[in-house]
């Protein structure tokens, strides 16, 4: 693969790294059960600060696990709504072996 397209193995690593945090697991769970939500409300519901919520949402979005859309509220406030992206993977030893074959090649040292 070329350009900014990630290798499939790199995508799996990013997804697993993003999910390897209890706050991010709670965020995905909240979004999948409660639907889309914005940062301030999610931070209150989960019990973390807005800056920390933003950091975790950015990690999840970078991994392709959530999406966001900026909208204006009725009172004119800009709210960034997040929702879970459709994703699925079946993690097996064979899937890990296949993903390992597609990791970004290491530069020769």
pLDDT in tens, 64-93: 999 999 999 889 989 999 999 998 888 899
Burial of 83 (0-12, 13-18, 19+ CB in 10 A): middle
**Cβ atoms of residues 108 and 101 within 8 Å:** no
DSSP letters for 29-78? HHHHHH--EEHHHHHHHHT--HHHHHHHHHHHHHTTSEEEEEEE-TTS-E
Which pLDDT value is given to residue 108? 60
Query: Which residue range forms the structural domain that includes residue 62?
Result: 11-101
pLDDT, mean of residues 42-65: 96
Q: In the predicted model, what is the mean pLDDT of the chain? A: 89
51: in domain: yes
Check whether 8 has a pLDDT greater than 60: yes
4: in domain: no
90: in domain: yes
Query: Rounded to whole angstroms, how far apart are CA atoms 105 and 24?
Result: 29
6: in domain: no
59: in domain: yes
**Cβ atoms of residues 65 and 87 within 8 Å:** yes
When divided into structural domains, the chain yields a total of 1
pLDDT, mean of residues 28-48: 94
85: in domain: yes
The CATH number that applies at residue 33 is 1.10.10.10
Q: How does 28-67 read in b/e, with b if 16+ C-beta sit within 10 Å?
A: bebbeeeeebbbeebbeebebeeeebeebbebbeebebbe
């Amino acid at each position: 693969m070329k350009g900014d397209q990630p290798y499939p193995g790199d995508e799996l690593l990013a997804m697993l790294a993003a999910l390897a945090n209890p706050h991010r697991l709670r965020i995905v769970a909240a979004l999948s059960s409660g639907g889309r939500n914005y940062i301030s409300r999610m931070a209150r519901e989960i019990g973390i600060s807005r800056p920390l919520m933003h950091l975790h949402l950015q990690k999840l979005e970078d991994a392709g696990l959530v999406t966001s859309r900026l909208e204006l509220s009725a009172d004119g406030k800009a709210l960034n709504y997040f929702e879970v992206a459709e994703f699925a993977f079946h993690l097996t030893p064979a899937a890990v072996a296949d993903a390992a074959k597609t990791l970004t090649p290491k530069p020769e040292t």
